[in-house]
Amino acid sequence: MAAYLIRRLWQMVPTLLGVVLLVFFLFKWFGGDPAEVLGGLNASADQIQAIREQLGLNKPVAEQLLIFLKQIVTFDWGKSWATNESVAHLFATRLPATLTVMVPILLLEVLLPVPFALLVAYLRGRAVDRAVMMGTTIAVSISLLVYVIVFQYVFAFQLGWFPVQGWSDSLWTNLTTYAPLPVFVAVAVALSPYTRLYRTFFLDEIGHEYVRTARAKGLTERTILLKHVLRNAMIPILTNISVALPSLFVGSFLLEVFFSIPGLGREILLAVNRSDYPVIQAFAIYIAAITMVVNLVTDLLYKLVDPRVVLK
């Protein structure tokens, strides 16, 4: 296990370096000129040149790349080109709000679909199974924006259970007052596709030989599902969770905009509109690193879920 972990960590270095080079040259060659964006339409050529010198955009590409690598190693991304705020401070102050929304979403999206899908698989072929599949098909076809509008209208305007928007300095107040509505929206959007997918995983395991052998030994259907089918189906479920985790960041960012949550997502979208490259580049590198770490943790969980898995 230790040798595998060390080897995987070592393999992450060239992968991350490739991501760094890709991000740097994409923004360098294919992005717009941030000096022109910051200068505005009425800026003169001398003003744009002064902004370019201030941002260091007139330096040689190799020197800019070395500065970029130094920023990554030291976690010092400089200042935002648009607000002059330290990028590190921006991430540190906006991340708590994002995590306040994203962590409950992650926990609920992991914990709720599995028992729902297992129950539907247990009732396969019955009227309840067909009704759930029909309902989830309809739910998958509905846009996130529709969920946001409906939930805000019903739970905020009509029932008055939650505010439409707002945020405070109290973690408990945010968790109990402002975060539930966007969390419910995200879970409602994800519950249907995950239930359908996990049901497919469970039904695929039910068709294997070991299930028929367990039935022949006299084990009940409930015991077979909970003790054997669930454990064997956890590997594709973990794979799906690891793949879906980066999209969870994007989804929570959109919710921050819809519900006016002062989190990292709203700042990233503002940075994109402003061509604020230091903020966007830092976020891209962080997301790449988080994705690689999540994939490594998922591979280790495979061994925990199924001891027959051999890590090479």
CA-based nearest residue to 148, from 249, 248, 256: 256
* Phi-psi label, residue 85: left if phi above 0, alpha if psi -120 to 50, beta otherwise: beta
Between helix 180-206 and helix 87-111 the angle, nearest 10°, is: 50
Q: What is the pLDDT of residues 198-219, one digit of tens each?
A: 888 888 888 788 888 888 888 8
Task: Please report the pLDDT score of residue 224 as a whole number.
Answer: 83
Burial of residue 49, with CB atoms counted within 10 A of its CB: 0-12 exposed, 13-18 middle, 19 or more buried: middle
Q: What is the pLDDT of residues 133-180, one digit of tens each?
A: 888 888 888 888 888 888 888 888 888 888 888 788 888 888 888 888
What percentage of residues in the chain have a pLDDT greater than 70? Answer: 91
pTM: 0.77
Last residue of a domain, one of 21, 43, 74: 74
Q: Say if 312 falls within a structural domain.
A: no
Q: Quote the strand ranges of 40-129, DSSP E.
A: none
Q: What is the pLDDT of residues 264-298, one digit of tens each?
A: 888 888 887 777 778 888 888 888 888 888 888 88
Q: Which residues are registered as beta bridge partners of 172?
A: none
Same domain, 272 and 243: yes
Last residue of a domain, one of 74, 104, 130: 74
Q: What is the pLDDT of residues 22-38, one digit of tens each?
A: 887 777 666 666 666 66
Same domain, 178 and 222: yes
CATH number of the CATH domain containing 233: 1.10.3720.10
Reported residue count of the chain is 312
